Chains A and B, each alone.
Chain A
Amino acid sequence: MNSEQQYIDLYNEASGMLKRHAAEALNAVRDRAFADFKAQGFPTRKVERYKYTDIPALFAPDYGLNLNRLEIPLNPYDTFKCDVPNLSTSLYFVVNDSFYNKMLPQAGLPEGVIVDSLGHVATQKPGLIAEYYARIADTREDAVTALNTMFAQDGLFVYVPKHVKIDRAIQVINILRADVDLMVNRRVLIVMEQGAEAKFLFCDHAADNRKFLSTQVIEAYVAENASLELNCLEETHLKNTRLSNVYIEQQANSRVNHNVITLHNGVTRNRLDLVLKGEGAECHCNGCVVADKEQHVDNNTLIDHQAPHCTSNELYKYVLDDNAVGAFAGRVLVRQEAQKTISQETNQNLCATKTAHMYTQPMLEIYADDVKCAHGSTVGQLNDAAMFYMQQRGISKKEAKLLLEFAFINEVIDKMELEPLRDRLHHLVEKRFRGELDKCEGCDLCK
């Protein structure tokens, strides 16, 4: 049987129940997404954007789905302790795909800001959700997005009104918790009105040593002069599969800083589609991957320059050890109208073993003539001369290697704007390289 067939059958059988447990605004696009999913099937590796991750194989196993919205007995405040020192955040939890709405933080968010359950807001303010939901996450073009749209019932909704600046970062902990192998379809919708500013930190954790398959679709609308910082940190385990599709639409003079950090995972595919729609928009997309064992990390990005005078910067760095597989495919598309574009794309990788594989594909597609675009990509090892220099000065080989790897990755971490997060990441990455304890102290997650 094709992998997609079980999901088609499931939808046919359970769509009634699915819709009963979800808001009307989310149900409105469900059937359309189903039709798109049926028409496409899962992308095979012959599809250019899925060349490096075998999607049908990931969906083949039998996963449970919590379509009935059974409550999960978990108090995340008991189990989770984030010890990012000095990081004062407004903390929210999403357990599997449900927004945890008990004990919401009394953090004084500025007036008009909404951080709530997507399902809940969709019932309360269906007009607001209908305006944005599933608009840029095109279900015709990506079967994983289509599948997510078919099954998504809840997730996170954030709304920042005009000219409101949220100083405190919003931290969202995605916890995977189940006693059976589980599939989770999470949805995030972020709407930033003109001149709004917000910073987010999404952390993915798995509380149980189960096989999880999570699909996530994030849609972010960034209006004129707005500024959005989106940090996604994944620290799960080898049995976890994560397919995250992020869609961002930027209007004139807006600014987006998107950082994705993968430290522990099983199979991860991050897709980023960022459209620069208004003049003078600017985006910085960075990625940092430290992988060993059987980890598989595939970052696939598309930066679509549709307006003049926009700037895009991409920097992705990978350190691969053991049998890890890394892939980076970044496409920068400069349309004919997008004159005076400045774009820089860099991908640098370190392979530490013979069995680690790296695939890289930095692509430029340019239809405008007055542009400055460049990309660079390297795969290599640590500099012998630098290693020798340090050993000569009494630093052990192991330590020298660590120092160099650390310096290599630091370039990405230093691009992140949240200072406490940077400090914490320095710490986490160092521990990661040393193969030491990798979870936050005092926290029961991530077994």
Chain B
Amino acid sequence: MAEKEKNEFVKQVAEKKYEFGFTTDVQTDIIEKGLNEDVVRLISHKKGEPEWLLDFRLKAYEYWSHLKQPTWGHVHLPEIDYQAISYYADPLAKKPKNKEIDPELEKTFDKLGIPLEERLALSGTAVDAIMDSVSVKTTFKEKLREKGIIFCSIGEAVKEHSDLVKEYLGSVVPYRDNYFAALNSAVFSDGSFVYIPKGVRCPMELSSYFRINARNTGQFERTLIVAEDDSYVSYLEGCTAPMRDENQLHAAIVEIIVKDNAEVKYSTVQNWYPGDEQGKGGVLNLVTKRGDLRGVNSKLSWTQVETGSAITWKYPSCILRGDNAVAEFYSVAVTNHYQEADTGTKMIHMGKNTKSTIISKGISAGHSQNSYRGLVRATPHADNARNYSSCDSLLLGSNCGAHTFPYMDIHNDTAVVEHEATTSKISEDQLFYCNQRGIPTEQAVGLIVNGYAKEVLNKLPMEFAVEAQKLLSVSLEGTVG
């Protein structure tokens, strides 16, 4: 491509705005900024929580207040002023009477492509739509209930299925786990609760859609998924946020419990606001996600497409406790402009004959930094543990970085662990081949990148895969120079 033409193209894309950057003008009930014990009590009170949960929050707060923000990641996490954030924002508080949802909110979710009217919804997907700290609506709740499946916001679950929540909350990610887990445990707001009873195969995809709207708030959602023996569920998660000059904080926890012969598929398409091309603003995505494969023959698969957020720092992990458990991690992480990502997974093999697969594809462009960090541990009892990891990085542009930090701790002689990684740029030969056949460079890059990420995209449910593919091309257009 002629240099001029190329520059023109780059400019066009650079000027392309984040598609979901609008704000919703809805009256939101926001509590005072700042974090202290009273705020924790207030959140608990607003949500009408039982005593045990308030205790849990207070203990977490007490623990958190003695911790320091960690710095070990390969990201430049700014010093966050935790007193400048409001920890609870409720867009539903002032809804018009005799209406279930504020029409503004409904419009917002429509615009995001998430219709809350069940008749309009994509067939076969139930949605829990969450804005700021509150779940706006959960669709297909009744239909699912017929099968005994519980799918609702965690706030609702605390009220209606208190015993279940009490049993599992914090059992996979205890509040002492890490700094952001402690923070989340103290102030968490809505998220989804999923319970699949024994022997039930969930008939539709369950999904949550997270949206940050209010200014100077953070989102601290908490998701808890319990799959009883012989059950199956596929769960999707999507997220967006408006464009703001300041960083927004997102510190979530996802806990998954998988019992005997059960299978859970968890897919994420993360498209938080990444900040502008100067690296200003954007969401700080600091999430703890972990699955506990407690049962024999249990299976958990994480699939993630990470295109958004100024900083992504998360490691969706699996504890393979049950014998013959199988865990998978598929990830595509794209960073552009000044985005930074330090993401990967942890596979802790504890049961016998456990198996895990890690496929990670990093794509960095602009001035971004993209790191894979992963841990594979085979404990002394994990006989015949098997792991295969493959991490590939693609560099588009000379100012970006791609890094790989795999850790392997092997304490068992029957474990077989393999790791391989490569880093390279798009090959000139492939580009030339496409050009020669009349495919312009930027399309060729799109083609090659999509092919490169295919292994992971194929693992996504169909609707998501289409979205992810589009997202990938938008995030990367014009990065080849």
Q: Which residues of A are at the interface with B, using a C-beta cutoff of 8 A?
A: 48, 336, 339, 349, 351-381
Contact = CB atoms under 8 A, between A and B. Distances in A.
Given A336-B399, A351-B413, A370 B404 contact: no
Nearest to B401: A367
Nearest to A373: B423
Interface of B: 72, 74, 380, 393, 395-425
Contacts of B72: 48
Contact of B422 (A336, A361, A374): A374
Contacts of A368: 395, 398
Contacts of A351: 410, 412-413, 415
B398 A374 contact: no
B423 A371 contact: yes
A381 B414 contact: yes
Chain B CB within 10 Å, residue with most, of A359, A364, A367, A372: A364
Given A365-B404, A377-B408, 13 more contacts: A336-B399, A354-B412, A358-B408, A360-B406, A360-B419, A366-B423, A369-B425, A370-B425, A373-B423, A374-B421, A377-B419, A379-B415, A380-B417
A369 B397 contact: yes
Contacts of B415: 351, 379-380
B403 A379 contact: no
A364 B414 contact: no
Contacts of A370: 398, 425
A150 to B, nearest CB: 29
Main secondary structure of the interface of A (DSSP, over half): strand
Contacts of B409: 357-359
State the 10 A-B residue pairs at the shortest beta-carbon distance, nearest first: A369-B395, A380-B416, A376-B420, A377-B419, A364-B404, A367-B401, A379-B410, A379-B417, A373-B423, A374-B422
A379 B406 contact: no
Contacts of B403: 363-366
A306 B62 CA distance: 47
B366 to A, nearest CB: 11
A357 B415 CA distance: 11
Nearest to B407: A361
A447 B359 CA distance: 49
Contacts of A353: 413
A375 B416 contact: no
Contact of B404 (A339, A355, A369, A375): A375
Given A369-B400, A375-B420, A379-B417, A363 B380 contact: no
Given A354-B380, A370-B398, A377 B406 contact: yes
A372 B393 CA distance: 11
Nearest to A350: B413
Contacts of A371: 395, 423-425
B127 to A, nearest CB: 40
Contacts of B74: 365
Contacts of B417: 377-380
A311 to B, nearest CB: 15
A413 to B, nearest CB: 23
A425 to B, nearest CB: 25
23 contacts: A349-B410, A351-B415, A354-B414, A358-B408, A358-B410, A360-B406, A360-B408, A362-B419, A363-B404, A363-B406, A364-B403, A366-B423, A368-B398, A369-B395, A370-B398, A371-B424, A374-B422, A374-B423, A375-B419, A378-B417, A378-B418, A379-B417, A380-B418
Contacts, number: 117
B421 A376 contact: yes
Contacts of A367: 400-401
Nearest to A344: B422
A190 B52 CA distance: 67
Contacts of A372: 422-424
Contacts of B425: 369-371
Contacts of B405: 361, 363
Given A336-B398, A364-B404, A369-B398, A357 B411 contact: yes
Contacts of A355: 380
A379 B423 CA distance: 22
B73 to A, nearest CB: 12
A369 B422 contact: no
Given A377-B408, A381-B413, A366 B401 contact: yes
A107 B421 CA distance: 48
A377 B420 CA distance: 6
A381 B398 contact: no
Contacts of B424: 371-373
A366 B393 contact: yes
Contacts of A363: 403-406
B416 to A, nearest CB: 4
A369 B406 contact: no
B461 to A, nearest CB: 32
A339 B407 CA distance: 27
B410 A357 contact: yes
A363 to B, nearest CB: 5
Contacts of A360: 406-408, 410, 419
Contacts of A48: 72
Given A358-B410, A364-B403, A378 B419 contact: yes
B350 to A, nearest CB: 14
Nearest to B417: A379
A370 B412 CA distance: 39
Nearest to A380: B416
Contacts of B421: 362, 364, 374-376
Contacts of B414: 354, 381
A374 B416 CA distance: 20
Contacts of B420: 374-377
Chain A CB within 10 Å, residue with most, of B401, B406, B416, B423: B423
A339 B418 CA distance: 28
A364 B401 CA distance: 10
Chain B CB within 10 Å, residue with most, of A349, A351, A371: A351
A373 B393 CA distance: 10
A361 B400 contact: no
Nearest to A51: B407
A53 B69 CA distance: 26
A76 to B, nearest CB: 40
Contacts of A339: 398
Contacts of B406: 360-363, 377
B330 to A, nearest CB: 20
Given A368-B398, A371-B424, A377 B410 contact: no
Chain A CB within 10 Å, residue with most, of B403, B413, B415: B413
Nearest to A364: B404
A359 B419 contact: no
Given A373-B424, A374-B420, A380-B417, A366 B410 contact: no
A364 B423 contact: yes
A363 B407 CA distance: 9
Nearest to B381: A354
Chain B CB within 10 Å, residue with most, of A364, A369, A376: A369
A327 B408 CA distance: 10
Contacts of B411: 354, 357
A272 B53 CA distance: 52
Nearest to A367: B401
B416 A365 contact: no
A354 B419 CA distance: 21
